[in-house]
Structure 1
Amino acid sequence: MTTQENDTPVDDSATPETPTATDAPEAVATEQPENDEVAQLHEQIAGLQQDLLYARAETQNVRRRGEKEVADAHAYAATKFARDILSVADNLGRALAALSDEQRASDAIKPLITGLEATERELLGVFERNGITRIAAIGLPLDPNQHQAMLEIPSSEAEPGTIVQEMQAGYMMKDRLLRPAMVAVAKAG
């Protein structure tokens, strides 16, 4: 026991105890699991936020792909039909090309020829309105993306690899190939 200034006895055992070294680890030990839990929760939140960002990005990509597929479906819906109608255009062109000058001059079949020519013009107009264009070939270098070389012809006039004859016209629909042009290519003579 100790005495204070006014001579009243003070009990040392009644003074509040300060934490000792043995008490501190228990206090830290109880706080440590809470800190670990908080850290784990922060990691989980960060992971979930990252997953959410990836899911949003993937959803946006799927939406964009879907929109592009719908736009392509609208733009190229008639592709199969266009390929099929090309043979009609080819046959009509062949029929007109097969007419001789005296047949064209004949009054008996002149109305038939006029009708065939009008039909060809109308067909080409329909092609143009629907974005179907003929591929240029003669005199150009062979482009394997648009031309299909069927044979090589020796030529001293044309540069090797240049198209000198077109056997069948090729067509594009907007930016897609409908049918390659079948061509003959010059080779060194």
Structure 2
Amino acid sequence: MTEEQKKYEDAENLESKSENPEEASAEKSENGVEDLQAENEKLKKDLLYSKAEAQNTRRRLEKEKSEAIAYSVTGFARDMLSVADNMERALAAIPDDIKQDEKIKNLVTGIEMTGKELLNILQRHGIKRVESVGQKLDPNLHQAMIEIESEKPEGTVVQEMQAGYTIHDRLLRPAMVGVAKAQSGETKSA
């Protein structure tokens, strides 16, 4: 092909393009509109996902904040439980005949009142004693320390060695308990 033929073909191509500039422009604008609409839809989806993510983050942070407030006293509460335990042990160690002695009666009453006030304060802060004796052993609340032969159904808590406590809906300290087992003369029914 000679240079003149190339020039001639290029000129024809230019003429054919210039004859239909509106068609070419319309095609470009239709493709451009479709592209813009697709991009717009993508951006809308991205915006919705971003809003949902922000809302989920806000909810999670609010939940974490409320839990932090509710359970912030956990360490202090555990320490105070040992004080409550020692007060109970002190009262249990005093024989009944000495409790009735007029010289000691006021001291015993003061210790009892202090113990009750301590438990009331703990309850005001969401700390509750776990009910154990007579209940079925719950490994989420109780820690079985010994098995005791008893007439009670097997697996029933018959003795509490140390009280358990919860703080709001979480276990603060499990109750240390003795659990009933079948008496040695009885056989287990399967």
TM-score range relative to shorter protein? 0.7 to 0.9
Question: In the TM superposition, what is the alpha-carbon distance from 1:176 to its structure 2 partner?
Answer: 1.8
Deviation readout 1:74-104 (Å, 9 max, x if unpaired):
2222222111100000010000011112221
Greater helix proportion: 2
Are 1:158 and 2:152 counterparts?
yes
Residues 184/25 of structure 1: CA separation in 2 closer, same or farther (3 Å cut): farther
Pick aligned residue for 1:79 from 74, 92, 112 = 74
Instruction: Describe the shift of the 1:149–1:31 C-alpha distance in structure 2 as closer, same or farther (beyond 3 A).
Output: same
Structure 1 stretches of 4+ moved >4 Å: 21-30
Structure 1 residue 133: Cα displacement: 1.2
Give the % identical residues: 52
The alignment covers a number of residue pairs equal to 168
After the TM superposition, which residues 12-27 of structure 1 pair with which residues of structure 2 at under 5 Å, given as runs?
none
Cα separation, 2, equivalents of 1:45 and 1:121: 67
TM-score, normalising length: structure 1 = 0.79
Gaps of 5+ in 2: 1-15, 184-190
Aligned CA RMSD, in angstroms, stands at 2.2
What SS does structure 2 have at the residue aligned with 1:40?
Answer: helix
Name the TM-score, length of structure 2 as normaliser: 0.79
- 1:144 aligned counterpart, secondary structure: coil
Residues 1:181 and 2:183 aligned together:
no
Q: In the alignment, which residue of structure 2 is the partner of 1:57?
A: 52
Distance in 1 (CA, whole Å) between partners of 2:19 and 2:178 is 94
Larger Rg: 1
Q: Distance in 2 between matches of 1:92 and 1:65?
A: 41
